[in-house]
Structure 1
Amino acid sequence: MTQPVTPPANPDVTIRVGSAPCSWGVWFSDDPRQTSWSRFLDEVAEAGYHWIELGPHGYLPTDPARLTDELARRDLRVSAGTVFTALHRGPAVWDATWSEVRRVAALTRATGGEHLVVIPEFWRDPATGEHLEPDVLGPRQFADLAGGSDWLGARLREEFGLRMVVHPHADTHVGDETTVTRFLDATDPASVSLCLDTGHYAYCGGDSVRLIETYGERVGYLHLKQVDPAVLAHVHAEGLPFGTAVRRGVMTEPPGGVPDLPPVLRAARALDVDLFAIVEQDMYPCPPEQPLPIARRTRRYLASCGA
């Protein structure tokens, strides 16, 4: 494993490191196996982070005044909200999509966030592996995905002042190098930026450094994550869905996996733009005492990498 190398100092570039509820085993708005929202906020602050994502809508308090107060008491701030969308299903679903997205967008904006992370819908059930749709979009569906993304990004900017960052994700139609670059080439840079999740991109066979160096002007946000290559090999060999892969431990604590994060951070700093870099280590479900020690070690590790 390459040792951490501090990127060259650049006083004009700020990488704001944070964490997210999924690093505490949170995938749903309400699940008895998940860490409580108050414990998550206490522990993410205790681990040394000052920025968080909202996670699934309804997990954290949805009253803006209450949530702002809870965050302020712990010296925390919001970097982004998150939504899943199925824009490839065409304009017939876009109005319904907006009614869901606007709830998250409003809370994100009201609590000071400036980004909305948009994840394409799964093509197979993440728990059972049941195929819900073909894993490759046809021309009409892809055109609807690109057009819908442009529409949604422009509307979020105009109505909420939010920057939409689309998150390539395992078991979705935007995941590997081919689908990511095709999607970026087909969408409007003024409306659609990229949330580069280093773990999901590696899961799908992508090279994060090469993507930053090639499409850096589209990278508006980072998720820092690693995968265990040995577990990943079994996942691909067995054709496992994402939820099963997570339970197998495919997402691992840095620096024990891939990609190596110091080169990613160096490439990101070379863009000369301020970025959020939000730590995500999917562990659903997990024992309540597991996340905090990992979060502390990960924060120390990233500090050793200059982040």
Structure 2
Amino acid sequence: MTTLSRIRIGSAPDSWGVWFPEDPQQVPWSRFLDEVAASGYEWIELGPYGYLPSDPALLTAETDRRGLKVSAGTVFTGLHHGPDVWDKTWEHVSAIAALTQAMGARHLVVIPSFWRDDKTGEVLEDSTLTPAQWRELTIQTERLGHEVRERYGLSIVVHPHADTHIDTEENVTRFLDATDPDLVSLCLDTGHYAYCGGDSVKLIETYGERLGYLHLKQVDPAVLAEVRAQDMPFGPAVARGVMCEPPAGVPALGPVLEAAQKLDVDLFAIVEQDMYPCEPDKPLPIARRTRSFLRSCGA
């Protein structure tokens, strides 16, 4: 078994069924912090901005007393729309980047906007970008990477995601080939990439120098087949159970972590098992089993 000395394991509010700043179906933030610490994790992400306290002093006190540290914040962007959305985007990004910086984290996970609503399935725009939109996406993402680094000392890591324009191997590699490695790195989410037909180990071996961050997630192949057959939006697919508890799904996480270790750089690998919505008592036992499984992989 490879000792994964360069991989730092964590979890996120997502693994507790948290998708929104406020939602009656979600566990309170204090319970999430209690349970993620009890599961044996040291690192967490901020999750949707406003779920955890946005006051750095309060959040620092709450994480410190549980032995937790923050690895990243998360932002949502629609940068393929071009300069017209920059001011609105920056307003959203800057508050989250400031909290991320204040918590001592160095990464900002950037998720592209959905082309269809993840709750209702309403198609919001074409699922395929025009050449002009691709140019704007790459130009504005590089701008974001530059501004976030200059103003907050953070690195952006772009997260390919189901039902967005950066999803399949074709679109992920097109995006990477068109962006400056000095400004834009990749957050590889193993579950989303498998959901969209990609091979995570192959991507790491081919574009390893672009990998800045990992999300660990698995897909249930049987449920995914149903999702694809029904052209189901991502939200209902998650409710159906398309993202499953490791090691029951794909991809196998051991080979992914070994491929990442071979890059010989320090990487966060944050567990994100999409479970919205879920019963409040469901996440903790899964989180404990998942942490134990990852230890068996050397992490």
Question: With structure 2 as the length reference, what TM-score do the two structures score?
Answer: 0.99
2:197 match: secondary structure: coil
Matches within 5 A, 1:208-287: 208-287=200-279
CA drift at 1:130 = 1.2
1:99 match: secondary structure: helix
RMSD between superposed Cα atoms in Å: 0.7
How many residues are paired up?
299
Equivalent residue, structure 1, for 2:25: 33
- State yes or no: 1:68 paired with 2:50: no
Distance in 2 (alpha carbons) for counterparts of 1:151 and 1:284: 32
- State yes or no: 1:122 paired with 2:122: no
Question: For residues 268-297 of structure 1, what are the alpha-carbon distances to aligned partners after superposition, in whole Å with 9 as ceiling and x for unaligned?
Answer: 001000000000001001010000000000
2:40 match: secondary structure: coil
Unaligned runs of 5+ in 1: 1-5
- State yes or no: 1:105 paired with 2:105: no
- One-letter code of the match for 1:25? G
- One-letter code of the match for 2:276? Y
- One-letter code of the match for 1:267? A
1:276 match: secondary structure: strand
Distance in 1 (alpha carbons) for counterparts of 2:6 and 2:202: 21
- State yes or no: 1:185 paired with 2:177: yes
2:54 match: secondary structure: coil
Question: For residues 55-103 of structure 1, what are the alpha-carbon distances to aligned partners after superposition, in whole Å with 9 as ceiling and x for unaligned?
Answer: 0000000000000000000000000000110000000111110111000
The one of 196, 200, 210 equivalent to 2:188 is 196
Distance in 1 (alpha carbons) for counterparts of 2:86 and 2:137: 11
- One-letter code of the match for 2:7? I
Distance in 1 (alpha carbons) for counterparts of 2:6 and 2:133: 38
CA drift at 1:176 = 0.6
CA drift at 1:14 = 1.9
Question: For residues 171-193 of structure 1, what are the alpha-carbon distances to aligned partners after superposition, in whole Å with 9 as ceiling and x for unaligned?
Answer: 00001100000000000101100
- One-letter code of the match for 1:248? R
Distance in 1 (alpha carbons) for counterparts of 2:27 and 2:14: 10
Question: For residues 217-237 of structure 1, what are the alpha-carbon distances to aligned partners after superposition, in whole Å with 9 as ceiling and x for unaligned?
Answer: 000000000000000000000
Equivalent residue, structure 2, for 1:22: 14
Distance in 2 (alpha carbons) for counterparts of 1:195 and 1:95: 24
Distance in 1 (alpha carbons) for counterparts of 2:290 and 2:254: 13
Equivalent residue, structure 1, for 2:148: 156
Unaligned runs of 5+ in 2: none
- One-letter code of the match for 2:9? V
Distance in 1 (alpha carbons) for counterparts of 2:31 and 2:281: 10
1:59 match: secondary structure: coil
- One-letter code of the match for 2:291? R
CA drift at 1:163 = 0.7
Equivalent residue, structure 1, for 2:73: 81
Question: With structure 1 as the length reference, what TM-score do the two structures score?
Answer: 0.97
